[in-house]
């Protein structure tokens, strides 16, 4: 209700918000909106595009349409990437009782939306999922390799979700706001698999149903799935399995650190044949820090990856962080050693302090949230 009904006319409330994550989808916006318009005739709907500052100007395109059509909105995120977090923020920007998520490239079948909405209401469900793997659905013409990968990933999903989902990788679903809100604070936001994340984060099992659809071919633009989605998927599973005990990023950072030790020793061995130990040790240290930086940038902080100029400034800040970490490491280890702890315990204590310092401080200065 408006505060003063005599001075305000209120547009009909939105029942369904369709959240559409985009990255370089400019050519798909017009045809997608046309299809949504005809599929959702008779429904009070709106859509929110969540664009990660696509270089092709997708956000400008959406806003140009939104100026003439109040059903269309745009959230533009700068300096960040990620399908899952885009979806989460899109849903948070909506107030509708029902929210749907659909890809911008028309690979999902938008004509399913009215039936999803119908089903969620009549069957009193939390979520309805568009599935390619129930009777009547399909994946179009995927090659054997992709089908096998998808099956394997679906089986891995059972590690974190007990619900029997035929298509846990689906990026096409419709849910109630309360169901979303029950899970939102626990979401990992890692990678692509927001549906799995939602199921794994909900305190009570979702009441769900799967409706079949056939995955279409993409016509405009290209897929953003690269080999790293496999990595991101594993990170999501790991986060759901151990994330409540120790942050996955810290585990990765630790592993990268161990790889740095290998790099260090290998470089040292190679350089020693040439001459001075001090020069060899200094070179090995630089090599290890640089390779740690590069690996963390690709693996640990993939979502905040530094490129171009920022890669260089990030590297310099990482050197600085590690230099202070090394001082702390040596200081703690020497202090422990003087108090007659055994050499290995003193050494380990120093290393542990160093790694925690490097992790915590580089998270703030090198790969800071922008
Ligand atoms: N905002 C934002 N940020 N959007 C993104 C990003 C990102 O970093 N990466 C991809 N998108 C958008 C794309 O623009 C597209 O609208 C949608 O997310 C899906 O991306 P695609 O690159 O088309 O993925 P796909 O077709 O290979 O994979 C789809 O199908 C899989 C199987 O169902 C996605 O829906 C996957 O989530 C799904 O697992
Ligand atoms: Mn696609």
pLDDT in tens, 226-262: 777 788 888 889 988 888 888 899 999 999 999 999 9
Ligand 2 mean position, distance from CA 217 (Å): 8
Give mean pLDDT, residues 338-343: 90
Q: What is the C-alpha separation between 166 and 131, in angstroms, rounded? A: 7
Helices 277-295/308-338 angle, 10° precision: 120
> What are the two backbone dihedrals, phi and then psi, of residue 303, each rounded to the nearest 5 degrees?
-75, -15
Q: Which-ligand-closest: CA of 228? A: 1
- CA–centroid distance, 103 to ligand 1, in Å, is 6
Q: How far apart are CA 328 and CA 204, in angstroms?
A: 45
The β-bridge relationship of strands 98-101 and 173-176 is: antiparallel
Indicate the pLDDT class of residue 335, thresholds 50, 70 and 90.
Answer: very high
pLDDT of 324 over the 80 cut: yes
Distance in Å, CA 225 to ligand 2 centroid: 8
Closest ligand 1 atom number to CA of residue 167 = 33
Q: Whose CA is nearest to atom 30 of ligand 1?
A: 171
In the numeric block, the tokens 């997708």 are attached to 58
Q: Give kind and range of the element (H or E) at residue 310.
A: helix 308-338
Euclidean distance between CA atoms 66 and 59, whole angstroms: 10
Q: How confident is the model at residue 8 (pLDDT cuts 50, 70, 90)?
A: low
Residue 25 has pLDDT above 60, yes or no: yes
- For the record, the structure tokens of 216 come out as 């279409």
What is the pLDDT, as a whole number, of residue 1? 56
Residue 370 confidence class, pLDDT cut points 50, 70, 90: low
Q: What is the mean pLDDT of residues 187-209?
A: 92
For ligand 2, the distance from its centroid to the CA atom of residue 246, given in whole angstroms, is 33
pLDDT of 314 reads 96
Rounded distance from Cα 248 to ligand 1 centre (Å): 23
Predicted pLDDT at 66: 97
CA nearest ligand 1 atom 35, residue = 171
The minimum-distance atom of ligand 1 relative to the CA of 77 is 1
The four Cα atoms 25, 27, 32, 35 give a dihedral, to 10 degrees, of: -170
193 CA closest ligand 1 atom index: 37
Q: Given the structure tokens 């161990």, which residue do they identify?
A: 258
For residue 241, report the phi and psi dihedrals to the nearest 5 degrees.
-80, -45
Return the HEC string of 124-149: CCCEEEEECCCCCCECCCCCHHHHHH
Give the closest residue (by CA) to ligand 1 atom 6: 83
Q: Please report the pLDDT score of residue 122 as a whole number.
A: 97
Give the residues across from 101 on adjacent strands: 19, 173
Average pLDDT over residues 254-277: 90
Q: Is 66 exposed, middle or buried (0-12, 13-18, 19+ CB in 10 A)?
A: middle
Dmax over Cα atoms in the chain, in whole Å? Answer: 88
Q: Which residues pair with 45 in a beta bridge?
A: 16
Cα–Cα distance list, 127 to 108, 191, 286 (Å): 17, 21, 51
Q: What is the pLDDT of residue 223?
A: 87
Global pTM value:
0.80
DSSP annotation of 214 reads B
Q: Give 216's Cβ-side CA count (13 Å radius).
A: 14
Question: Based on the number of CB atoms within 10 Å of its own CB, is 167 exposed (0-12), middle (13-18) or buried (19 or more)?
Answer: buried
CA–CA separation, 154 vs 165, rounded Å? 8
Mutation probe of ligand 1 site: the residue of 192, 194, 218 with most atoms within 8 A of C-beta: 192
The encoded tokens of residue 114 equal 């009215």
Ligand 2 centroid to 58 CA: how many Å? Answer: 16
pLDDT at residue 9, as a whole number? 66
Q: From ligand 1's centre to the CA of 21, what distance in Å?
A: 7
Q: What percent of the chain has pLDDT over 70?
A: 97
Ligand nearest to the CA of 229: 1
Q: Are 198 and 241 in contact (CB under 8 A)?
A: no
With H, G, I as helix, E, B as strand and everything else as coil, classify residue 95.
coil
The helix (H) or strand (E) run that includes residue 29 is: helix 26-39
- Give the pocket of ligand 1 (CB within 6 Å): 21-23, 25, 50-52, 81-83, 86, 103-105, 107, 169-171, 192, 223-225
Strands 173-176 and 16-22, bridge-based pairing: unpaired
Residue 215 per-residue DSSP state: P
Residue 103 vs residue 246, higher pLDDT: 103
Pocket test for ligand 1, best of 18, 19, 20, 21 (most atoms within 8 A of CB): 21
358 C-alpha to ligand 1 centroid (Å) = 33
Q: What angle do CA 55, 59, 64 make, to 5 degrees?
A: 130
Report the share of the chain in percent with pLDDT over 90: 68
Collapse the DSSP code of 25 into the 3-class scheme (helix H, G, I; strand E, B; otherwise coil) and give the result: coil
Of ligand 1's atoms, which has the minimum distance to the CA of residue 50? 1
CB 62 within 8 A of CB 44: no
Residue 343 CA to residue 349 CA, distance in Å, equals 10
- Whose structure tokens read 């659909």? 102
Nearest listed ligand to the Cα of residue 169: 1
Instruction: State the pLDDT at residue 2.
Output: 55
**Banded pLDDT at 150 (limits 50, 70, 90):** confident
Using CA atoms, how far apart are residues 69 and 82, in angstroms rounded to an integer?
27
């Amino acid at each position: 209700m408006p505060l003063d009904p005599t001075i305000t006319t209120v547009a009909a409330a939105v029942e369904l918000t369709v959240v559409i994550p985009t990255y370089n989808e400019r050519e798909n916006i017009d045809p997608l909106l046309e299809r949504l318009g005809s599929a959702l005739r008779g429904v009070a709907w709106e859509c929110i595009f969540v664009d990660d500052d696509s270089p092709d100007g997708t956000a400008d395109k959406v806003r140009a349409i939104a100026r003439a059509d109040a059903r269309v909105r745009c959230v533009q995120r700068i300096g960040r990437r990620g399908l899952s977090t885009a979806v989460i923020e899109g849903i948070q920007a909506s107030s509708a009782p029902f929210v749907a998520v659909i890809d911008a490239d028309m690979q999902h079948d938008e004509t399913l939306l009215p039936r999803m909405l119908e089903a969620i209401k009549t069957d009193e469900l939390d979520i309805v999922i568009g599935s390619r793997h129930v009777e009547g659905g399909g994946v179009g013409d995927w090659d054997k390799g992709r089908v096998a990968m998808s099956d394997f990933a679906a089986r891995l999903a059972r590690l974190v979700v007990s619900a029997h989902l035929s298509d846990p990788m689906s990026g096409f679903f419709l849910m109630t706001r309360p169901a979303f809100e029950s899970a939102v604070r626990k979401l990992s936001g890692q990678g692509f698999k927001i549906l799995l994340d939602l199921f794994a984060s909900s305190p009570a099992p979702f009441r769900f149903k799967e409706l079949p659809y056939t995955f279409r071919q993409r016509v405009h633009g290209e897929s953003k799935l690269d080999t790293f989605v496999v990595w991101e998927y594993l990170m999501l599973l790991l986060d759901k399995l151990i994330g409540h005990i120790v942050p996955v990023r810290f585990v990765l950072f630790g592993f990268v650190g161990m790889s740095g030790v290998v790099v260090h020793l290998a470089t040292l061995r190679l350089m020693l044949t040439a001459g001075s130990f001090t020069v060899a040790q200094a070179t090995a240290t630089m090599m290890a820090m640089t390779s740690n930086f590069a690996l963390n940038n690709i693996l640990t902080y993939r979502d905040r990856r530094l490129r171009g100029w920022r890669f260089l400034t990030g590297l310099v800040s990482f050197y600085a962080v590690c230099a202070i970490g090394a001082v702390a490491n040596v200081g703690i280890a020497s202090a422990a050693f003087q108090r007659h702890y055994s050499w290995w315990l003193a050494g380990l204590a120093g290393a542990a302090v160093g790694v925690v310092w490097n992790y915590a401080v580089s998270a703030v200065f090198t790969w800071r949230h922008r």
